[in-house]
Amino acid sequence: MTSEAPLLPDHLEGERMRDVERLELLDTPHEERFDKITRMACRVFGVPMASVSLMDHDRQWFKSILGLQLSEVPRERTVCRTTIARAYERPDDPALVLPDAATDPAFMDIPGIGGEGGIRFYAGYPLFGPTGHPVGTFCIYDTEERSLDPDQLDTFAELAEWAQRELDRSDELERAAEIQRQLLPRPLPDLPGYGIATVCLPAYMVGGDFFDHYRLRDGVVITVADVMGKGLGAAILSSAVRSSLRGVGRVFDRFGRPEGVLETGLALSVAAEHLAEDFEHTGTFVTAFVAAIDFSTGHIEFADAGHGLAAIRRADGEVEPLHGGGPPLGILPETTWISATAQLNPGDTLVVCSDGLLDLLDEQSDPAALCRFVASHTTPEALVDAAQALTESEPPLDDVTVVAIRRNEVL
């Protein structure tokens, strides 16, 4: 029998757990936005311990905890399970305050309550998920008996509201992250004579990196860009940059682009002009690399706006960085970018990445590290899998994006 069976009916517990799962916060790293709340609570109330936690099926897991060396505790050994139930029973007065839990028969037998250095004072406030069910708690604790006067109770509720806003923000960020994932281009499985592999991994829930690829009449366009900054603001601007660059390319392709593949320098220049006011108002900039590849010849026309992280891995394993270009978009108004050219021969792979990958490869961000990494992987799929493995072994501090396209060898 679970410890909470007498407290919550099965249907409520099921709905409550669905709200916990919708947040997608369980077992995620600590975040400063929650740690600020627990630090502030300890400072304001003069208590040694505070926490923001989520109540899972069988455990209480701490998103932020100060003053206790814990990451989780069994659910049946918590006072907070009662706080969760109280949210349903007394919605107008949800806070549970125990001046001395060690003398309360309902809680005195819980491990950690009372005794030498044990918790005596407890105050808990329920936190709610996207559909209104209690998913966790904001708590303060003390090893001494104490109480909260009416003003302190108001302050406690205000700090709980702060924690609630951060949970609400998590749900909003997850919806934004899902939209951003949906905006990534669909796979291109039918490239005649070519194979492509891609990955885009935000360091946080949403990111400022993006990649794009789309077909032209006789080729393909590849873009990798990195908006200054991280998080939701960078993600919003990255969507605008992607739309502008793709729109310019589509228009050129349909209504009379220059002879041969897309003139990428002109495309960057037009897109930058279109986005000039956005860059000015937001005070930001974007690095970008745009390449157009002609299917039949392997001819590449590319333009680099301060990106500097593209190379061709030749069939024999040699890696040639692609140099040239101008400043990032948004730095100098009325900049004109000039296209450069390269050749993709059978067996060669064009690789473009963001600096998040370079940071994982070398603490000094030495571009030579990228060349060594590219050289050691013979296929786009192997390269992308290796990049993804790096992010799993060492969580990145910046977004990681890789696009690799290979011209197949002639059989």
CATH code, 284:
3.60.40.10
Q: Encode 218-246: b = buried (16+ Cβ within 10 Å), e = exposed.
A: ebbbbbbbbbbbbbbebbbbbebbbebbb
Q: Which two tokens stand for residue 286?
A: 């974007």
- The CA-atom distances, in angstroms, between 8 and each of 11, 54, 80, 370 are 8, 16, 13, 55
Residue 172 shares a structural domain with residue 250: no
C-beta of residue 409 within 8 angstroms of C-beta of residue 347:
yes
- 177, 202, 229: which is the final residue of a domain? 177
Q: Which two tokens stand for residue 88?
A: 């349903």
Residue 216 shares a structural domain with residue 170: no
Tell me the H-state helices in 255-354. 264-282
The DSSP result for 281-299, as a single string, is HHT--EEEEEEEEETTT-E
Residue 266 has phi, psi (to 5 degrees) of -65, -40
Mention every residue, 6+ apart, whose C-beta is less than 8 A from residue 238. Answer: 207, 208, 209, 210, 225, 227, 286
Res 355: pLDDT:
85
Residue 402 shares a structural domain with residue 261: yes
Residue 264 shares a structural domain with residue 368: yes
Residue 322 shares a structural domain with residue 252: yes
- Tell me if 183 is assigned to some domain: no
Residue 168 shares a structural domain with residue 204: no
The whole-angstrom separation of Cα 12 and Cα 226 is 44
The whole-angstrom separation of Cα 203 and Cα 400 is 7
Residue in the structure block whose two tokens are 């609630």 = 164
CATH number for the domain that contains residue 150: 3.30.450.40
Q: For residue 64, give its domain range.
A: 10-177
Number of compact structural domains in the chain: 2
- Tell me if 5 is assigned to some domain: no
Q: Which two tokens stand for residue 385?
A: 């899998």
- Give me the tens of pLDDT residue by residue for the chain, a chain 411 residues long: 233 334 677 888 989 998 898 888 899 888 888 999 999 999 999 999 999 999 999 999 999 999 999 999 999 889 999 999 999 999 999 999 999 999 999 999 998 898 888 999 999 999 999 889 999 999 999 999 999 999 999 999 999 999 999 988 766 666 666 666 666 777 777 788 999 999 888 766 656 788 888 888 788 999 998 888 666 667 777 788 888 888 887 777 766 555 555 788 888 899 888 888 888 887 888 889 999 999 999 999 999 999 989 999 999 999 999 987 789 988 888 889 999 999 999 999 999 998 888 888 887 778 888 899 999 999 999 999 999 888 887 767 778 889 999 999 865
Res 4: pLDDT:
37
Number of Cβ atoms within 10 Å of the Cβ of 292: 26
Strands 310-313 and 400-407: unpaired
Residue 173 shares a structural domain with residue 199: no
C-beta of residue 176 within 8 angstroms of C-beta of residue 143:
no
Mention every residue, 6+ apart, whose C-beta is less than 8 A from residue 360. Answer: 390, 391, 394, 396, 400
Residue 225 has phi, psi (to 5 degrees) of -140, 155
- Tell me if 182 is assigned to some domain: no
Residue 137 shares a structural domain with residue 22: yes
Q: Which two tokens stand for residue 112?
A: 């950690």
Q: Which two tokens stand for residue 382?
A: 């192997």
Residue 54 has phi, psi (to 5 degrees) of -120, 145
C-beta of residue 268 within 8 angstroms of C-beta of residue 330:
no
Residue 336 shares a structural domain with residue 398: yes
DSSP letter assigned to residue 6: T
The DSSP result for 290-326, as a single string, is EEEEETTT-EEEEEEEB---EEEE-TTS-EEE----B
- 113, 144, 177: which is the final residue of a domain? 177
Question: Residue 243 carries which side chain, given as an amino acid letter?
Answer: S
Residue 364 shares a structural domain with residue 398: yes
Residue 225 shares a structural domain with residue 353: yes
- In this prediction the pTM is 0.60
- Tell me if 4 is assigned to some domain: no
Mention every residue, 6+ apart, whose C-beta is less than 8 A from residue 100. Answer: 120, 121, 145
Q: Which two tokens stand for residue 363?
A: 């603490």
- 177, 203, 237: which is the final residue of a domain? 177
Q: Which two tokens stand for residue 159?
A: 């700090």
Residue 295 shares a structural domain with residue 341: yes
Question: Residue 299 carries which side chain, given as an amino acid letter?
Answer: H
Radius of gyration of the chain (CA): 27
Span between the terminal Cα atoms of the chain, in Å: 66
- Tell me if 2 is assigned to some domain: no
C-beta of residue 297 within 8 angstroms of C-beta of residue 341:
no
Number of Cβ atoms within 10 Å of the Cβ of 36: 13
